[in-house]
Amino acid sequence: ETVFVNGELMDRKEAKVDIEDRGYQFGDGIYEVVRVYGGKTFTMKEHMERFYQSAEKIKLHIPHEMDELTGLINRLIEANSIHDGIVYLQATRGVASRQHHFPASDVKGSVVAYTKEVPVPQSQMDQGVTVKLIEDVRWLRCDIKSLNLLGNLLAKEEAASEGHFEAILHRGDLVTEGSSSNAFMVKDGVVRTHPATNLILNGITRRVIRDVAGSEGIPFQEDAFTLDELLSADEVFIASTTSEVMPVVKIGERLVGEGHPGAVTRKLQGAFRKRIEQEAPV
Ligand code: PLP
């Protein structure tokens, strides 16, 4: 297995992390997960742009130009002959003696990437999944794709330990997003999701869904909804790079609609698939 570490492709066995890497000690860094379908990346440009934007938001300099990094990632996918999978890309503020404030400007950020085969979760996408509602206790910069994921991990663990696929988070009465996905509801044919504020990650999948909803003539509103609205929705789904458009058929013990994936969700799944085959920018 070939991995990418600080500008070089190397065997995974040769890759090392310093015990004073700030990503390891503080979670002082950012990441991306890019989907690979049939050996080709999907929405690579959008992911790379978000990667550099997350870096800028935490004042982290990426020591590679975007085009160079994109090229290296494509080489990595080829070297590992990835068919359907993901690329994990991460940057940290580098290695320095442990103190909270940033290291001197000559300390270069660490950038690593690796690939993995990941199948499309077809049976879950066909049948739908269940979720648990959990209070969103994360910080107020969820727009940054930060390595600090403890709030997300604790929510996912609580949901998963009770047999659920995902945790849907809410701040007080308003639904924000999933622990590793965006959350959507459908009422009277209208799709709604939380606006892209500091309270959610503006998912690339979310943007593709907004785009395909537009071409399919499905009304799409970026307008936060309440727990009551969620619980009385006709359809609910979540979305992410690895989950695509994932129908939610149960929230806790309560059925969504009739307890089957709904018509609008099905239409979006179909349109999303078509988009993968076309790979058009959003
Ligand atoms: N929200 C959170 C908290 C996430 O971690 C993710 C992705 O893992 C998403 C939303 C969905 O983003 P994307 O569609 O870009 O994968």
HEC profile of 53-84:
HHHHHCCCCCCCCHHHHHHHHHHHHHHCCCCC
Given this model, what pLDDT does residue 40 score?
A: 96
50: region left, alpha or beta (phi > 0 left; psi from -120 to 50 alpha): alpha
Could you give phi then psi for residue 23, rounded to 5 degrees?
-70, -45
Quick check: 203 and 182 in contact, CB under 8 A? yes
Residue of 152, 165, 182 to test ligand 1 pocket, by largest number of atoms within 8 Å of CB: 182
Return the pLDDT at 14: 97
Three-state DSSP at 112 gives strand
Please report the ipTM that was assigned to this predicted complex.
0.99
Q: Which tens digit of pLDDT belongs to each residue from 190-241?
A: 999 999 999 999 999 999 999 999 999 999 999 999 999 999 999 999 999 9
Longest CA span, the chain:
59
The CA 141 to ligand 1 mean position distance, Å, reads: 14
Report d(CA 71, CA 44) in Å as an integer.
11
- Relative to beta strand 110-117, strand 85-92 is antiparallel
What is 172-206 written as a DSSP string?
A: TTEEEEESSSEEEEEETTEEEE--SSTTS---HHH
187 is catalytic: no
User: Any idea what DSSP says for residue 13?
Assistant: G
**Domain ranges for the chain:** 2-117, 122-278
Contact 83, 39 (CB under 8 A): yes
> What is the mean pLDDT, run by run of 10 residues, along the chain of 282 residues?
97 97 98 97 98 98 98 98 98 98 96 98 98 98 98 98 98 98 98 98 98 98 98 98 98 97 98 91 65
Catalytic residue among 59, 116, 132, 145, which? 145
Q: Which atom of ligand 1 is nearest to the CA of 207?
A: 14
Please report the pLDDT score of residue 224 as a whole number. Answer: 98
Q: To test ligand 1's pocket by mutation, which of 147, 201, 244 has the most ligand atoms within 8 angstroms of CB?
A: 201
Tokens found for residue 233? 């929705």
The CATH number of domain 2-117 is 3.30.470.10: yes
* Residue written as token pair 């044919």: 189
- Rounded Cα–Cα distance for residues 272 and 82 (Å): 21
Q: What residue owns the CA closest to ligand 1's atom 1? A: 181
Ligand 1 contact, 240 CB (< 6 A) = yes
Residue 109 CB neighbour total at 10 angstroms = 22
- Name the phi and psi angles at 54, rounded to 5: -60, -45
Residue 260 DSSP one-character state: S
**Which pLDDT score is estimated for 279?**
84
DSSP assignment letter at 146? B
| Cα–Cα distance for residue pair 32/88, rounded to 1 Å | 6
Which residue of 42, 49, 168, 180 sits with most ligand 1 atoms within 8 Å of its CB, as the best mutation to test the pocket?
A: 180
Q: Calculate how far, in angstroms, residue 203's C-alpha sits from the geometric centre of ligand 1.
A: 5
Instruction: Verify whether ligand 1 is closer than 6 Å to residue 94 (CB atom).
Output: no
Interatomic CA distance for residues 39 and 133, integer angstroms: 36
Centroid of chain to Cα 15 = 25
Q: What CATH superfamily is the domain 122-278?
A: D-amino Acid Aminotransferase, subunit A, domain 2 (3.20.10.10)
